[in-house]
Amino acid sequence: MLQPTIRNRILGIAMGLIVLMAIISVLSTVMARRIAHQLDELTTKYVEAYGHLARMNVRSLEQALALRRMVIASMQSPPDQAAVAEQQKVYEAKGLEVDQEAKTARGLVNAIIADLSTESDNARLGRIDDRIETLNSDLRRYLGEEHKRLLPLLEAGNLAEVNASLARTEALRNELNQRVDEVRGEMLAQVRADAAVTMKDQQRSILASVILTALAAILGLLFSFFVSTGITRPVRRLLEGTRAVEAGRLDGSIDVTTRDEIGQLTAAFNKMVEQLRHKERMRETFGRYIDRGSWRD
């Protein structure tokens, strides 16, 4: 068992302050990692998912432009078959890009839902995921069917039917793009909601760090005050006892309240005072004996 020495008390104060600082550091690190994870989710999932939905809309418009160019090349006299074939490839490539953008956006949304360590509206995100899947499926099916009907009309040179087919395609595409815009709006609302939650958690983290730091400072001061008081109080009593001895008062003693060096010094002081009292009594007794012997002579 360690002796309650002054050195050990000072080391206890230091160790206590170190432990408090370590606790604050650990808690601050945990909160900082949580905020960092939320910011990472916001930037790499929420914002990226919204970006893929926006690019899905852009790729759809690029596909519509390729279809228009293909029609124009087919209606030339003579038809520019090379341009038609090139625009056909562009049309199909843009369709694949639309499909890839939709799949990537869904993957990010599902990753947000699967991450249980962050706060998110999983119900709304689930509905967004379902709407993206439905939109992509409708886009492939309806526009694919209309495109298949358009190709024979182009080969036959039926301009009236081609224009009617293009009008139907544009109407379908506009409707689907409007639905994509609605999904983008919902996703943007989720981005803003997650940003608000992240900012609120960041403010809570800062407030918690301030409170913990203040609490650690208060506890450290209180701990230091009680320990220092336990050291200085017996020193004051010892000083008062020393002054009393200096003034010739040997009838008192000091209570030993600690077992450290000051307590040992106090015990030694009491022993010294006791010896001085004993010597004083002997001198008084011897003095009286000498006085009586002188009187008899």
Quickly list DSSP for 21-84: HHHHHHHHHHHHHHHHHHHHHIIIIIHHHHHHHHHHHHHHHHHHHHHHHHHHHHTSSS--HHHH
CA 220 to chain CA centroid, nearest Å = 26
Mean pLDDT value across residues 75-79? 79
Position 264, amino acid: Q
Cα separation, 11 vs 235, whole angstroms:
19
For the segment 83-119, what is each residue's pLDDT rounded down to a tens digit? Answer: 888 988 998 898 889 899 999 999 999 999 998 888 8
Q: State pTM to two decimals.
A: 0.65
pLDDT in tens, 206-261: 888 788 788 878 877 887 777 777 777 777 877 888 887 777 777 777 777 777 77
Size of the chain, expressed as the number of residues it contains: 297
Interatomic CA distance for residues 69 and 57, integer angstroms? 19
